[in-house]
Amino acid sequence: MTPTFKFLIVLSSLACIANAQQKVFDVRTFGAKQNADISQALLSAWKEACASPTPSTVLIPKGTWSLKQAKLIGPNKAPVELRVEGILKAPLDPTQMPNKEGEWVTINYLDNFTLSGGGVFDGQGHEAWKRNDCHKNKNCVKLPLNLSFNFITNSTIRDVTTKDSKNFHVNVIGCYNVTFLRFTVSAPGDSPNTDGLHIARSKNCFV
């Protein structure tokens, strides 16, 4: 057996081991259905993934999915990926969110986290923008932003789109060594206060 052939066998074996160890938690396995709220299914899949001692992926496959609100919290025992391939839609009316003071999707306290998949976080802000009077009413109801990352380390956000957030799109607080790659922010030119990313109290964050 030639050295080259031996090397190829070793590489093939390592690839098989890596694939065997990668666990995929498809939200459909936890009861998610298209055009119905998947909040509970996503949370259940997320808890399983964070508890996994080997690398894992939470999969939201292609399609259109309704999500009232999600708070995805660590710690995670091994690298974890949230792979969003489909379109996630927020409630048109922000008062439908269980935590009316919270954000739409919050991701906290993780290390070696990846958000990927080519999907879209659609905040459906066009209705909420009409009601936004915060520029003249100090007692206005706070509108939620699309994505909030808090205390995330050694992580990558790539190949996803945040669209039509009700407020600004992304908050990054207390994070370290986080990279945004091919990350798209989409909103009409006349949408109010829909800034892209707000980064605070963080280090080594690259966009």
Establish if 16 belongs to a structural domain. no
Average pLDDT, stretch 185-204?
Answer: 85
pLDDT surpassing 70 at residue 10: no
What three-state secondary structure class fits 190? coil
- CATH code of the domain covering residue 76: 2.160.20.10
Band the pLDDT of 169: cuts 50, 70, 90. Answer: very high
The pLDDT value recorded for residue 190 is 81
Flag whether 31 is in a domain.
yes
Please give the single-letter amino acid code of residue 125. Answer: G
Given a cut of 50, is residue 13 above it in pLDDT?
no
Tell me, yes or no, whether 64 lies in a domain: yes
Question: Structure tokens of 174?
Answer: 């207390």
| Widest pairwise Cα distance in the chain | 78
Establish if 1 belongs to a structural domain.
no
pLDDT digits (tens, 9 = 90+) for 154-164: 999 999 999 99
Residue with tokens 């908050």: 171
Quote the DSSP letter at residue 32. Answer: -
For residue 179, give both structure tokens: 């990279």
Would residue 5 count as lying in a domain? no
- Looking at the structure of the chain, the number of domains it has is 1
The answer to the question of residue 13 being in a domain is no
- Residue 194 included in any domain: yes
Three-state SS at 126: helix
Where is pLDDT greater, at 204 or 4?
204
Strands 176-181 and 161-163: unpaired
Burial of 26 (0-12, 13-18, 19+ CB in 10 A): middle
106: domain range? 21-206
Query: Which of 78, 81, 185, 57 lies closest to 123, judged by CA?
Result: 185
9 found inside a domain: no
What are the backbone dihedrals phi and psi of residue 59, each rounded to the nearest 5 degrees, phi first?
A: -110, 125
pTM metric for this prediction: 0.87
